[in-house]
Structures are given as C-alpha cells and as structure tokens.
Structure 1
Amino acid sequence: MNFQAVKTIYTYEMARTMRTIMQSIVSPVISTTLYFVVFGAAIGSRISEVDGISYGAFIVPGLIMLSLMTQSLSNASFGIYFPQFTGTIFEILSAPVSFLEITIAYVGAAATKSAFVGLIILITASFFVPLQILHPVWMVTFFLLTSIIFALLGFIIGIWADNFEKLQFVPLLIVTPLAFLGGSFYSISMLPPIWQKVTLLNPVVYLISGFRWSFYGQADVSLWLSLAMTFVFLFICLAIIRWMFKTGYKLKA
C-alpha cells in the first residue's frame, strides 16, 4: 500500500473543501436545516407522533441520511470527474498507484466531508428536538457505511460521466427521489400494503431503517437485513470500480 500517494490525493481533496467551504459545508447544512424546519413545522403540526416518537425527532435520522447520500455522491463524483475533465487523470494513472489506493483516497476524502456535514446536522437538530441514540455503535456504523457506499457510487458516476449534465443526472433524478421515497420523512408502515412491498425494492429503505433503529430502536425492516443489504451495496460498488480500472472504462480513452 502506497500510503504517501493516498495521503497526497486525500489531502488535496480535503484542501479543495476549505477553498469552497460555502458550497461544501455551509450550503448543505442550511438546506437540511430548512428541510427540518419546514417539514417539522408543516407536517409535524398534523402528525404529532410516528410509532410513539415525535415527528420532529422521527425525521432527524432521515434528514441526516439524505444529506450523507447527496453529499457523498456529489463530492466523490466531482472529485474524480474534474481530473478527467482537465486531463490530469492520466498523470495519476501513470503513477505507481493502484486502483485501490486511488479509490481509497478519493472515496475517503468524499466520505470524510459528507460525514462532517452529517455530524453538524446532527448537532444542529439537537437544538430543535430532544434526540436519543439508543445504540451509538450501530449509529456510527450505518453513518460511516452510508458515507462510504455513496462516495463509491459517486466515484463510479464521476468516471462514467463525460459532461456536467451526466454528472448531475443520477443524483437529481434517481438518488434524491429514492431517498424521499425511502422513508426519510415517514414510516413505510403508514403506506398501503401493496406500496409497502413495492417500497422494499428501494435500496435506500434499508439504510434509513437501520440508521433510525440505532436512534429509537424501531425500524421498518430488521436490523440484520438492513446490515446485510448495506454490505451487498458496498461490494457491488467495489466490484464495479475494480472492473472500471481493470478494463480502463472511460479512463484510457
């Protein structure tokens, strides 16, 4: 493992965050806080509790997960797309650095940035509603796994995209709707039976469900199913990235 190479790429990506702190940190925190205020006030006045939990507290895990997904995705996709756009990706590929080291550096930086944003949102939410974390170890586990998985997915999108429109296509038209329909703001048990079954086809459900269980001990699906599906998504992303580097897909053209 070339730790110096990993450190160099990781440090560069983290430094870029500090140069765009308004876009990278402040903007997503403000946006998520507005989600919390609007949904908590507008819907919370009509739905006092969900499964015995106040609606304001109930949506906090979903909002954090929504932020982790979108930020990990955008950070990682732009991080690897920009070197392709400028042509500097060939310098990285010609260096004695393996695909695993490149992936660890870029994905690690993207996951770190999104985790930092998620932590700020968690702290901010604690000022609005009383929060309890019954299973902190599991909370950290799902928190980090979600950051890593969507950073890996963003890394894949960044390699696949050959223009800025494609770079935004998956996050805006696929991931965000899946997050909203995956139980971020409601329990899928509130849906009609047929739609509950359809919703289980949404992979985001398992991430949000496991994360919410770590807070309140209640979930739409079992903890172990959520964890198993989480690792399935992780290994699928890793397999796709390995294939991309092995075949040179969109990297050697």
Structure 2
Amino acid sequence: MTLLSVNVNKIAVLRNSRGGTEPDIVRAALTCIEAGCGGITVHPRPDLRHIRPDDVRALASAIRGRVEYNIEGNPFAPARGAYPGLIELVREVRPTQVTLVPDGDGQITSDHGFDMQGDIERLAPLVAELRAIGSRVSLFVDAGTTRFEAAVAIGVERVEIYTGPYAQAFEEGQAQEQLTLCVETARRAQQAGLAVNAGHDLSQANLGTFKAAIPGLAEVSIGHALIGEALYEGLPTTVRNYLQILR
C-alpha cells in the first residue's frame, strides 16, 4: 500500500501564532501514528515560520523505530540563527528520507521542483553526503518532468511529484491534463529506476483519483488539507480516512 506520511507543519503554525507549547507537535505526530500512518514529515525553514530545529529533534526521538521520518528542505539555504542548515539537521537526527525542495523565504509554500538538468551538478555532492549519512534522498519535481537519468546517476532514489497544479485543476473540474502530466512523470521516473512519491494540496477529495492513475505510488506526504479536515472530524478519524483511500 502507498505509505501515508503526515506533514505536521500546520500544527507548528497554530502553536507559533500564540506562542508557548500548545498544540504539541510530538503529541500530534504520535496521534497520527496511533491512527495508522506510516510516516511523519516536517519541512523546517531558515525563517522558523513553522517547524523549528528543536521540533525536528524532538520528533526524531519520539518516532524513531516506529515509522518513517521524512525531512524536507532546501539544501542550499545557509544556516541562520537557530537554524543550522538542512544537512546539519539531517546529520543530527538521521531521518529515513530527505526530500530536497528548491524553496525560498519569499515563497508562502513550495511551488516548483528542481530542474533535472540545470540543478544536478550542484546537487550531486549534497546527495552523496546525505546518502553517506544513511538517508534516502528524494527530489521535488514538477509534473511534466521526464528526464531522470542524471538524477539516478548522482544517487537520487526517489522523486516527489509536485501536485499543487493537479489539485487546483481538480477543484476547477479540469484535472485531466494535469493528471496526465503526473502520470507520465511517474512512468518515466519508474522506468529510470526511481520510486515515486507525491505531495502538495492532496486531499480526501482528489487523492483517490490520483492514486488510481499511478500504479506503484510509493508515498504521499499530506499536511495542509489533512490538518484542516481534522478540525471537523478529528485527527485519528481523518488519518484513517486517508488510509482507506490509499487502500
């Protein structure tokens, strides 16, 4: 079955809006695990807008040996204040997977993937370092990307398809073109020997269609919609709803 990794960034957004320690990131993650999810995702940023380095460390201790731990981030963003840099955080906590994302402070959220040609040379030594630490490496890519040989050559093991445009098109009732791009990207990545993950704006409404179209989908990382839906139905019920869709 496709693994569900719950992104708990939005729990941190709510906590940070008030200050203090509530709602508790670790408790939220453990609640999702008890409901059956197979992974926890975080995306720490240098501006500390949601997940903070101490959260990354606390989650690592709490979930180690229970589920997969996926840390997303921009490997080119330098250390700043309490943020030690993505590679250093990974070295400290040794997550199952590192998903490299080319985001910056000016982006409200991730909104594009890496260039499979232009970015590979810069990524190569970082991928090697992450692999040496013991983490699986995934690259965030746009739907429509079809050339993956260079990524495989530098040791990348997975790609995560950016599904934001698909989700938007689905909401507008015109999903087919974007879904076709996602399907072709998944097919070409798998042909190159990569496993395929997906994430961004996936929801209970659009996930079933997406999952049915992509055989062998390894993992979905879902946060914003899942946490929003949980406000109405509760976190355990919402996680179980997603698992049922993935089955």
- With the shorter chain as reference, the TM-score category is under 0.3
Q: Which has the higher helix share?
A: 1
Q: Which has the higher strand share?
A: 2
TM-score by length of structure 1 reads: 0.23
Bigger radius of gyration: 1
Q: Greater relative contact order (Cα 8 A, min sep 6): structure 1 or 2?
A: 1
